Amino acid sequence: MGVTVDFNQLARVGKIVALLGFLLPWVTVSCSGTEILTATGVQLMTGDPQLAGPLAGMAESQQAQQQDDAEPSIVTIAAFAAIALGLLLGLVTRSRTAAAIMLAGAVAGAGLSYFSIENMRQEMRRELSGQQSGEPAAEENPFFSAEDQRQMSQAMASSVRVVEEEGYYLTLGALALSAVFALLTLFARRVEATPAQS
């Protein structure tokens, strides 16, 4: 008798791995090849990105102000919530219903994760272009405090890059596998149901 593979269980494991990816580095911001900021998925959700490179030596009072003023990334929080909710509902439901829920959660989580980084990239470009054109910096930014914006504008040159890191790719990869396993569950159930009706 052949071994039956429970694709739903594999999809659930994929969701768990995707959530663990939020603990790893998600993004690094660099200016002219010099790192100036890093953040895990959790740090993006809590509004606590970590200054790196030359900016890492800031005074402790400035670090405290950064932690007080920085805002959480709502889109990253929504991505985490979509993944966690899909996993939770996938645990309390069965077979095709669980697979459909986990598929929807995986697609929503991947889309929101991608959009969170793109939104960060666009916000930084807008902020940089505003500062370079002499316009006053916005008082509030979803990723940096007003004090951080002033300090970072001094370090920024013409090239600022936002690079996705291993935690981000682990989350997206695990969500992709979870979606594939959920689809396999849906197709397997459909194939099983077809002979029974004939």
pLDDT digits (tens, 9 = 90+) for 85-134: 999 998 888 888 888 999 999 999 999 999 999 988 888 777 766 655 44
For 176, the token pair is: 């992709």
Global pTM reads: 0.74
The three-class DSSP label of residue 2 is: coil
Please report, rounded to a whole number, the percentage of residues in the chain having pLDDT higher than 90: 40
Task: Please list the residues that pair with 50 across neighbouring strands.
Answer: 38
Q: Are the C-beta atoms of 122 and 47 separated by less than 8 Å? A: no
Helical packing angle, 95-132 and 146-155, nearest 10°: 60
Tokens 């006053």 belong to residue: 136
Architecture, CATH, for domain 7-185: Up-down Bundle (1.20)
Specify burial of residue 65 (Cβ count, 10 A radius: 0-12, 13-18, 19+).
middle
Residues 11 and 76 sit within 8 Å (Cβ to Cβ)? no
- Tell me the per-residue pLDDT of 40-56, one tens digit each, with 9 for 90 and over: 999 999 988 888 877 77
Mean pLDDT of the chain: 79
- As a whole number of Å, the end-to-end CA separation of the chain is 24
pLDDT in the model for residue 94? 80
